[in-house]
């Protein structure tokens, strides 16, 4: 009998043995499948989340940075103690920076006017959680927004404090079902705004952008005035350049505007857009590690269960082993038969777990607005892990089976 024929014969015998002990085999496959499903499922969802985050931050403008105010807090137990209160970025400082920054870039000035607004149009109204952002004409470009219809703010809108607004898709759904919103007036208590633009939808996963309304920053300052308003400055180069060099130039200019001494540290933050996603990706590594540990623990339990089943199988099939040895089967052939059986159980459980993991992981990622993903690295890793489990669990029982004395085996009842 050549090696290929022997290989197929061992496979046939292994499947026959699995069918004859199907209940125990199915239970072991289920344990292995759950371990692989947990591993592949969580990691598929994480890969989908990574893809979504990368895509969305690219839409915001991966080559951009923001200048924001900074405060320092110290946490002692459950108490937060303000150690140092840096000055807020004022409207004058933000506009002065916009005027003095001469690099080829869009400079945007904005602030969060409200996060709990409720707009009305005739008998329709929105939920009371609509965000209002006061911004200039460059904010939409900096934030990666696109207009579906209408126009952006003009210099006249800003200089004349015009009561105009650009709305997101959720506001359209609430207030203008089946109606063109352009030119219509929507109202807040004490403020009426004319819709001049509608933003394209970015989906519910994109930081609530569909529930955002944008009004001229000068109008927002007038109607949403409060003490210590802090303004955000956004900078986005016209073309791909060294962001570090441009950010250093911006820091130097803003230090002069803030009247900082050369020995003073900067009392504001410069946050690059790519650093945000790097921070998120870094945190996702811990989730990936936790998922891997959970999957490996489950696989270890499956390996113990599989080894136990194989040892029981060796005991139950002692007489069968004796007959085969009496007919001339070598110990190596017996060992291969049991080892193949263990590997096949591991691979069948692994395939079921991988398919279930991809399905469940993509259902989760699709719920977050991501596209269908097949994590081939983890799929291949799952197959290899199940192969290792099969070999590790089946080796000792296979060696035990191959060392059975045929005379004693034939006497076994």
Who's near 330: CB < 8 A, 6+ residues apart? none
pLDDT score for 48? 76
Tokens encoding 399:
């060696």
Please tell me the distance from the alpha carbon of residue 139 to that of residue 233, in angstroms, as a whole number. 9
Q: What is the pLDDT of residues 273-285, one digit of tens each?
A: 766 666 777 777 7
Please tell me the distance from the alpha carbon of residue 156 to that of residue 148, in angstroms, as a whole number. 22
Query: Taking a C-beta distance cutoff of 8 angstroms, is the pair 205, 62 a contact?
Result: no
CB atoms within 10 A of CB 226: 8
Dihedral sign from CA coordinates of 331, 333, 338, 339 = positive
pLDDT score for 284? 75
Please tell me the distance from the alpha carbon of residue 245 to that of residue 241, in angstroms, as a whole number. 8
Query: Taking a C-beta distance cutoff of 8 angstroms, is the pair 305, 23 a contact?
Result: no
What is the length of the chain? 413
- DSSP strand pairing (212-216 vs 164-167): antiparallel
Nearest to 316 by CA among 404, 197, 395, 252: 404
Give all strands (DSSP E) within 162-315, no chain letters: 164-167, 185-188, 191-199, 212-216, 232-237, 268-272
* Predicted TM-score (pTM) above 0.75: no
pLDDT score for 77? 45
pLDDT score for 198? 95
Tokens encoding 259:
């009247």
Domains of the chain by residue range: 3-57+279-411, 87-266
pLDDT score for 82? 41
Exposed/middle/buried for residue 265 (C-beta within 10 Å: 0-12, 13-18, 19+)? exposed
- DSSP strand pairing (212-216 vs 120-121): unpaired
pLDDT score for 172? 93
Looking at residue 209, the DSSP 8-state letter turns out to be G
Contacts of 247-250 with C-beta under 8 Å, sequence gap 24+, read: 247/65, 247/272, 249/101, 249/103, 250/65, 250/67, 250/97, 250/101, 250/103
CB atoms within 10 A of CB 150: 17
Please tell me the distance from the alpha carbon of residue 365 to that of residue 362, in angstroms, as a whole number. 5
Please tell me the distance from the alpha carbon of residue 412 to that of residue 319, in angstroms, as a whole number. 6
CB atoms within 10 A of CB 344: 19
Query: Taking a C-beta distance cutoff of 8 angstroms, is the pair 305, 312 a contact?
Result: no
Please tell me the distance from the alpha carbon of residue 116 to that of residue 402, in angstroms, as a whole number. 74
Point out the residues of the chain with pLDDT beneath 50. 72-85, 205-206
3-state secondary structure of 265: coil
């Amino acid at each position: 009998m050549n090696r290929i024929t022997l290989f197929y014969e061992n496979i046939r015998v292994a499947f026959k043995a699995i069918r004859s002990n199907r209940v125990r085999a199915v239970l072991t496959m289920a344990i292995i499948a759950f371990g692989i499903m947990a591993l592949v499922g969580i990691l598929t969802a994480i890969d989908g989340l990574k893809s979504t985050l990368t895509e969305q931050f690219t839409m915001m403008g991966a080559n951009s940075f923001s200048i924001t105010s900074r405060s320092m807090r110290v946490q002692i137990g459950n108490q937060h103690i303000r150690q140092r209160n840096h000055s807020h970025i004022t409207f004058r400082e933000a506009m002065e920076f916009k005027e003095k920054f001469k690099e080829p870039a869009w400079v945007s000035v904005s602030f969060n006017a409200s996060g709990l607004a409720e707009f009305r149009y005739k008998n329709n109204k929105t939920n009371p959680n609509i965000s209002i952002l006061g911004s200039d004409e460059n904010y939409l470009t900096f934030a990666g927004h696109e207009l579906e219809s209408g126009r952006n703010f003009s210099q006249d809108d800003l200089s004349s404090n015009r009561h105009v607004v650009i709305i997101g898709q959720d506001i359209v759904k609430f207030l203008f079902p089946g109606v063109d919103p352009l030119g219509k007036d929507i109202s807040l208590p004490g403020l009426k705004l004319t819709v001049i633009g509608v933003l394209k939808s970015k989906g519910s996963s994109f930081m609530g952008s569909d529930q955002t309304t944008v009004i001229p920053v000068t109008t927002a300052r007038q109607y949403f005035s409060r003490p210590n308003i802090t303004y955000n400055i956004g900078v986005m180069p016209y073309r791909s350049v060294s962001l570090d060099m441009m950010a250093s130039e911006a820091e130097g200019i803003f230090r002069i505007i803030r009247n900082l001494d050369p020995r003073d540290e900067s009392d504001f933050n410069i946050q690059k857009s790519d650093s945000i996603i790097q921070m998120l990706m870094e945190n996702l590594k811990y989730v990936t590690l936790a998922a891997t540990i959970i999957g490996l623990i489950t696989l270890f339990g499956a390996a113990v269960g599989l080894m136990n089943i194989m040892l029981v199988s060796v005991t139950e099939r002692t007489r069968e082993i004796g007959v085969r040895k009496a007919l001339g089967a070598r110990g190596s052939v017996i060992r291969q038969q049991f080892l193949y059986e263990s590997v096949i159980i591991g691979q069948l459980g692994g395939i079921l777990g991988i398919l279930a993991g991809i399905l469940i992981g993509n259902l989760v990622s699709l719920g977050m607005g991501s596209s269908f993903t097949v994590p081939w690295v983890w799929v291949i890793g799952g197959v290899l892990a199940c192969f290792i489990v099969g070999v590790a669990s089946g080796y000792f029982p296979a060696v035990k089976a191959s060392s059975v004395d045929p005379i004693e085996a034939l006497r076994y009842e």
